[in-house]
Amino acid sequence: MMPKYEEWGLYATPSITPIVFSALLLLAGLILFVRSIGRRGYKIRITREHFKSVYSSKAAQRFLLVLGLVILYSLLLGKVHFVLLSTTYIFCNIFYFKSTAWWKNLIISGAVAFAVWLLFNVIFLIPLP
């Protein structure tokens, strides 16, 4: 459903940016892989205690919560209006990391979500779900 503007050439198709970023990430990963093999890598020894300490750490818990929010966001995308869903998602992230007062958080979240929606729908002419 996204307009392709094929008369503008390949650079205007919506898939060009993910293709370029994916190719760059793949290239960087291959370079790191080859360097690791050349230097004989790093011997990783994961023990049960190491796994428990990493899993119970605050950083791992934060990562899992934020990953859960991202998965929930992606599942609801297209079913709930973009501005409402994005406002809620941004609000939850800012609230969890205790960045500012709740009312400032709500204003920031709503303004950012609305600005992104307006920018893509009106200026870039790329419809969001």
Say whether pLDDT at 40 is over 80.
no
128: its two tokens: 């969001």
- Give me the chain's average pLDDT, please: 85
Q: What is the pLDDT of residue 28?
A: 97
- Which percentage of the chain shows pLDDT scores above 70? 88
pLDDT of residue 120: 87
- Cα 27 from chain centre: 20
23: amino acid identity, one letter: A
Give the sign of the dihedral formed by CA 34, CA 26, CA 28, CA 12. Answer: positive
Q: pLDDT, tens digit, for every residue of 50-81?
A: 778 878 888 888 999 999 999 999 999 889 99
Distance of alpha carbon 119 from alpha carbon 115, whole angstroms: 6
State mean pLDDT over 95-117: 90
Whether residue 12 contacts residue 5, with contact meaning beta carbons closer than 8 Å, is answered with: yes
- For the cut 80, the answer to whether the pLDDT of residue 92 exceeds it is yes
